Structure 1
Amino acid sequence: MIYCEGVHKKYGKVRALHNVSISCRKGEILGLVGANGAGKTTLFKILLGLVTADHGKIEIAGDGAKKIGGIIEKPALYHYLNAHENLRLFAKMQGADSSKNALEASLEQVGLPVHRTDPVRNFSMGMKQRLGIAVALLNNPSCLLLDEPFSGLDPLGIEALKKLILDLTQQAQMTILISSHIIDVLSTVCTNLSIIHNGEIVQTGPTSTILAACTKSYSLCGNELKKAAFLSDYDTVSNGDCITISASATEISEIIFKLSQQQIAITSCRPLIDLQQLFNAKEK
C-alpha cells in the first residue's frame, strides 16, 4: 500500500534523506523510529505530497478521492471552532460528505462525543489527536500517517489512541505508518519497525526481533520479588517493589516461569531498550 524506493532529499547542502526505501502492506502498522532530526518528518511530508523528493520512487495504493491521510507533528485544527465545525470545514475543503450524519459518523469512528458543542481549545490533547485523525480519515483513505501521535498524552490517552489505531487496522484493514519516540508503545502496536538514522534506513524487520536484539535488561515489578533467592544469580538493581535485571529475552522468560512456580506474582515486565544501539543498528 505504501512503497518507497531510493528516496533522496536535500535542503541546500543538508542531507535529509538518503536512499530511503520502505514498504507497508494492507492492514499493517509500520513503526518509523529515529532520533530527532533523523528524517522522519521529511519522509512523512514527501509521502503526503507536501514536499517533493529529489530522487526516488513513491507509490501509494488505494481507491477513492484520497489514497492517504495523515497528521504531521500536531493536528492542524481551528481551536475557536467546535469539533463539528472543524470537520465540516475540512470536509468541504476536501470535497467530502459534510452532512450531519456523515460528520457524526466520523466523530463516532474516533470515539469523540457527537453532541459536544464547545470550542476545540477546551479539548484534551488526546481528544485533539482523535479529531485530527477524523480529519485525516475524511474521504476514506486506505493509508494513514501519524507523526508522533502519542506525544503529550497521559497513560489513559495513550491506551485509548492505541485502541483506535488497532481498530482501524483490524476493522477497516487500513495501512498505518507511525513515528514515535515512545518505543514501549510502538512495541505493542507495530507489526514491523524501520529504524532511520541520519536520513538512512539502517534496519527493517519484525518489531519483536529488532527490539529483542537491543534489549539487555528488563524492569520486573512484583510485591514479593525479594523471596526469590535465585534472582541473586543475576545482575540486579532494586528499586522498591521493582528490580532492573540484566538478562536476554530467553532468560527473562525462564525467570518469569520460575517466579510463577514459586507463586510470586509479577505486576509488570518491561524491556529496557538500548536506544543508542537501536538507532545505530546496521542491517546485516
Structure 2
Amino acid sequence: MILDARDVCKAYGPLEVLKGVSLSLNRSEVCGLIGPNGAGKSTLFRILLGLVSRDSGTLEIHSEASKPLGGIIEKPALYGYLSAFENLRVFSRIQGLELNRADIESQLQQVGLSPLRKDPVRNFSMGMKQRLGLAIALLNEPECVILDEPFSGLDPMGIRTLQDEIRELAKARGIGILISSHNLVELGDLCDRLYVINQGEIVRKGPARDILQQAARSYVIYGTGLESSATLAIADVEQRAGSVLLHLGEDSIHAILQRLSAEPGVTLTACVPQTNLTALFEKTPE
C-alpha cells in the first residue's frame, strides 16, 4: 500500500465538505474516485497532496521516495508562451532537478508528446496539455500520482489515448494512480477499484466491475435467437438488432441468463450492465 487515508473530515464554516472519508491505494493499481459535481473529490485530492489541511483523520504515505506524490488538480498550470520542452525544463528546476536534453525528451515521449514540437503550448489541444501536465507530475519519479478530472475537455480519441498511457504507467513503473471523475464511462474500463463519493461521504467501494454491477438496473444482452426467446417474452425488454435491452424486475440477471442459456436456439455472446447513476450515488446500507 502506498497511500492510506482514514476518516478524513473537512469543513468550511458550517459546510461539511468531507465527512469521515477513507480510501487506500496500492502500487501498480489504478483506482478511481467518482461522484457528482460538488461531492468533495477535488477537496479530498488537495488534502492528499498537502495543499489543504484536514480538520481530522489520518493520512499515511508509505514511501521513501524524494517525491512520494505527484498530481494534477483540475487543469494543469502551464506557461502558455513556452514550448512543452521549455515547460518541462522550468518545472524540473522548480522541483530541484537539472535534467539534460535527453532526459526531458524521454519524459515527453513517455506521455506521448513529440520532443520535436517547438511551438508554445497555448497552441496545444486539451489532450496534449493534459499529457504535458502528467509529464510534470511524473518529475522526480513519484510512487503515487493523483489526477483530478484528467479527461475533462477531451474528445473520445483523446480519452482513450490518455487511458492507455495511464494504464501503461501503472504497470510498467509500478506507480499507484488515483483518478477522479464524474463520468463513469471514463473510469469503468480503466480502474481496478472504484470509490463512489456523494455529499462528502464514500457511499460505495470495491472492484470496479462489482460497483458497476451493484448499480445496474438494466442490461444489454447480445446473442442469437433472442427475438423468439420464451424467457424474454415475459420480461421487460426492448428488442434491438442482435441484442435486447432488459430492464430488471423481480428476477436477478443471473437467473435470467441461466434460463436463456438453457433455451434451445438461444446463444448468448455478451451481457453489458447499464449503470443507473441515481442508484450508484445512493448510500449502501452498512
State TM-score, norm by structure 1. 0.88
Which residue of 1 is the match for residue 102 of structure 2? 101
Using the aligned pairs only, state the percent identity. Answer: 45
Q: Is the 8 A contact 2:260 2:266 kept in 1?
A: no
Q: Equivalent residues in 2 for 1:229-244 (5 A)?
A: 229-230=229-230, 231-238=232-239, 243-244=244-245
Q: Which amino acid aligns with 2:276?
A: D
Which residue of 2 is the match for residue 71 of structure 1? 72
Q: Equivalent residues in 2 for 1:221-236 (5 A)?
A: 227-230=227-230, 231-236=232-237
Larger mean CA deviation between 100-109 and 62-71 belongs to 62-71
Q: Which amino acid aligns with 1:194?
A: Y
Q: Is the 8 A contact 2:225 2:266 kept in 1?
A: no
Q: Which amino acid aligns with 2:74?
A: E
Considering only aligned residues, what root-mean-square deviation do their CA atoms show, in Å?
2.6
Cα 1:254–1:128 shift into 2, 3 Å: farther
Larger mean CA deviation between 167-176 and 120-129 belongs to 120-129
Q: Is the 8 A contact 2:221 2:268 kept in 1?
A: no
2-structure distance, mates of 1:225, 1:177: 43
1-structure distance, mates of 2:282, 2:5: 21
1:58-108 C-alpha deviation (Å, 9 max, x unpaired): 112223321101111111112221110111111111112431111111011
Q: Given the alignment of the two structures, is residue 117 of structure 1 paired with residue 118 of structure 2, yes or no?
A: yes
Q: 1:241 Cα deviation (Å)?
A: 7.1
1-structure distance, mates of 2:269, 2:3: 43
Q: Given the alignment of the two structures, is residue 81 of structure 1 paired with residue 82 of structure 2, yes or no?
A: yes
Which residue of 1 is the match for residue 145 of structure 2? 144
The SS at the match of 1:280 is: coil
Cα 1:74–1:219 shift into 2, 3 Å: farther
2-structure distance, mates of 1:252, 1:60: 45
The SS at the match of 1:80 is: coil
Q: 1:169 Cα deviation (Å)?
A: 1.2
Cα 1:86–1:256 shift into 2, 3 Å: farther
Which residue of 2 is the match for residue 282 of structure 1? 284
1-structure distance, mates of 2:137, 2:74: 13
The SS at the match of 1:244 is: strand
2-structure distance, mates of 1:192, 1:128: 26
The SS at the match of 1:189 is: coil
1-structure distance, mates of 2:167, 2:135: 15
The SS at the match of 1:126 is: helix
The SS at the match of 1:140 is: coil
Q: Which amino acid aligns with 1:250?
A: H
2-structure distance, mates of 1:26, 1:234: 44
Q: Given the alignment of the two structures, is residue 271 of structure 1 paired with residue 278 of structure 2, yes or no?
A: no
Q: Equivalent residues in 2 for 1:18-57 (5 A)?
A: 18-57=19-58
2-structure distance, mates of 1:152, 1:225: 41
2-structure distance, mates of 1:257, 1:195: 33
Q: Which amino acid aligns with 2:91?
A: F
Q: Given the alignment of the two structures, is residue 201 of structure 1 paired with residue 202 of structure 2, yes or no?
A: yes
Cα 1:209–1:65 shift into 2, 3 Å: same
Cα 1:64–1:270 shift into 2, 3 Å: same
Q: Given the alignment of the two structures, is residue 191 of structure 1 paired with residue 192 of structure 2, yes or no?
A: yes
Larger mean CA deviation between 57-66 and 174-183 belongs to 57-66
2-structure distance, mates of 1:283, 1:179: 24
Note the residue ranges of structure 1 that are not aligned, 5 or more in a row: none
1-structure distance, mates of 2:236, 2:50: 50
2-structure distance, mates of 1:46, 1:55: 11
Q: Is the 8 A contact 2:221 2:245 kept in 1?
A: yes
State TM-score, norm by structure 2. 0.88
Which residue of 2 is the match for residue 9 of structure 1? 10
1:15-62 C-alpha deviation (Å, 9 max, x unpaired): 111111111111122111111111110000001111011111111222
2-structure distance, mates of 1:142, 1:43: 19
1:92-145 C-alpha deviation (Å, 9 max, x unpaired): 111124311111110111111111111112222111111110010000000011
Cα 1:17–1:264 shift into 2, 3 Å: closer
